[in-house]
Structure 1
Amino acid sequence: MDSSGRVELPAAFEDADIDNIALLIADMLERLIAHNDRIPLLPESLTRFHSRAAPSISVLDYLRRIVRFAKVEKICLLLTLHYVDQICARMPLFTLSSLTCHRFIIASIAVSSKGFCDVFCTNSHYARVGGISLAELNVLEREFLHAIEWRLTCTCEVLQEYYINLVRTHSTGNFVIVDAHSSSSISSDSDVDSGASRPASPMVVETQTSHRQTSTILIDTATLSPQASQGPTIEQNMAFAALQQSLEKAPRQRGNQ
């Protein structure tokens, strides 16, 4: 970081510091959550990823905790964004919100680490790091794999596109990618593309203006097979009623303190 607060990043995500990648991802997810939390919660939109209350730990601190105690690789952090887009497209009613983000992240990290890393942790370790029980993580892992249709692979070109997009859209405008082989740079207030060729199929999707639409990040529409919309199950209705009851109790409990 220079005196102006600008943070220079390498052109390739593989060369970036993992904490800077966590910062970029957390900024994107926090803005996504802020948008999606305004979408009315419907019983049919409940999933295994929904918590009764939003965790008190921030997305950034949660990512840093996972990186520190689970030795997560950079590719797994960026894959979380790819999985967000893929699952949101296949499950139109699912939203990454303050109630789903943390459980989604730990499930994504556990799955991607097993799929792409030579060394990974046990589910019991991921569960302790993520602050959930082993039984919960096992259920989340199965739900995650079903939702993603076991399509865990992603090209480095697409992950690089996520990296570039994270820098372009960062809320502070302090991050900039400097090409070591030229004077060009990419920053959050710049429209200049990187020297490398960009994949043709993915496109950047800006935050939707309608609160009825979920917001995605970068999506390859050619690979998607959205699930048909279904009505809420009895289990979802019961879980929705319990969640609504717990949310209504929380303000009253705070008022009595």
Structure 2
Amino acid sequence: MLSGSSANSHQILHHHNHISRPVPEPSQDEPTLPRVLTILSHVLEKLVARNDQLVQLGSQNQSQQKWINETASYQLAGKSLKGFDGVRAPSISIGKYMERIYKYTNCSPSCFVVGYVYIDRLVHKYPDSLVVSLNVHRLLVTCVMVASKMLDDVHYNNAIYARVGGVTNAELNRLELELLFLLDFGVTISSQVFEIYCQHLEKEMLRNEAAIDYYYNNMARPAITNSTPDATEISIEDHAQSSSSHE
């Protein structure tokens, strides 16, 4: 359990509120998005852009890439991020996807930091698996959901997160188990580790202040609607498959 946040974590986690409403209906006059979402979006966008480029460069030599994939599969014996891959990269940006999760699940901003910790642990534990545009959205919704169960006194169930995240309930249940086993069920984050990541994000904010400010001003807009939209409105699969997967 996290406790004793310092000035660093307080600065990037402002507008922190626990869930108190029974249904996911954001208010028209709610405050702007917590800045930590913008920082995390910037960090993840850079990571995914770099990794997508690496995958593209690697695929230019198909025979070598095939050998790398086969070797990685053998070494990991099924332990990889492959289970989070979608058919194609979603059209929604990472920032807008995080904004959607925050608005419609009312999870605390700390959940996004802890979700990022989970992703970072996966990256270090399975270095042959990259966080790319094909898997980052599923990783995000799964990690934030698990983090909310660890941090928030009240949280929504998997069905709500699945609806918000644009996946089926059955798939999100599977992804949750996949994540837990990949992390060896190590989902508890100490306050010291949490503070270290907050400091890292604060440094990232200072290094890229202009870009983050621009992104923040474009992300931090009031909600357009007061109801939770259907998952089919924002499927993280291609439109052809989403229409059948949510029936």
TM-score for the superposition, normalised by structure 1: 0.60
Quick one: percent identity of the two aligned structures? 30
Asked if 1:138 corresponds to 2:180, the answer is no
By percentage of residues, which structure has more strand?
1
Q: Which residue of 2 aligns with 1:186?
A: none
Over the aligned positions, Cα root-mean-square deviation in angstroms equals 2.3
Separation in 2, partners of 1:174, 1:34: 19
Asked if 1:172 corresponds to 2:172, the answer is no
Alpha carbons of 1:93 and 1:73: their partners in 2 closer, same or farther (altered >3 Å)? same
Consecutive unaligned residues in structure 1, runs of 5 or more: 1-9, 177-245, 247-257
1:29 to 37, 41, 44: 44
The offset of 1:14, in angstroms, is: 3.6
The offset of 1:174, in angstroms, is: 4.2
Tell me if structure 1 keeps the 8 A contact 2:121–2:183.
yes
Q: Which residue of 2 aligns with 1:151?
A: 186
Q: Which residue of 2 aligns with 1:17?
A: 14
Separation in 1, partners of 2:81, 2:99: 27
CA displacement, residues 175-224 of structure 1 (integer Å, 9 cap, x when unaligned): 99xxxxxxxxxxxxxxxxxxxxxxxxxxxxxxxxxxxxxxxxxxxxxxxx
Give runs of aligned pairs for residues 54-73 of structure 1, distance below 5 A: 54-73=89-108
| Deviation >4 Å, runs of 4+ | none
Asked if 1:88 corresponds to 2:85, the answer is no
TM-score for the superposition, normalised by structure 2: 0.62
Task: Return the letter of the residue paired with 1:138.
Answer: N
Partner of 1:132, secondary structure, is coil
Consecutive unaligned residues in structure 2, runs of 5 or more: 1-5, 16-33, 60-68, 74-79, 213-237, 239-247
Separation in 1, partners of 2:166, 2:197: 27
CA displacement, residues 130-173 of structure 1 (integer Å, 9 cap, x when unaligned): 01111110110010000010011112222222222122224632
CA displacement, residues 110-148 of structure 1 (integer Å, 9 cap, x when unaligned): 111112221111111000000111111011001000001
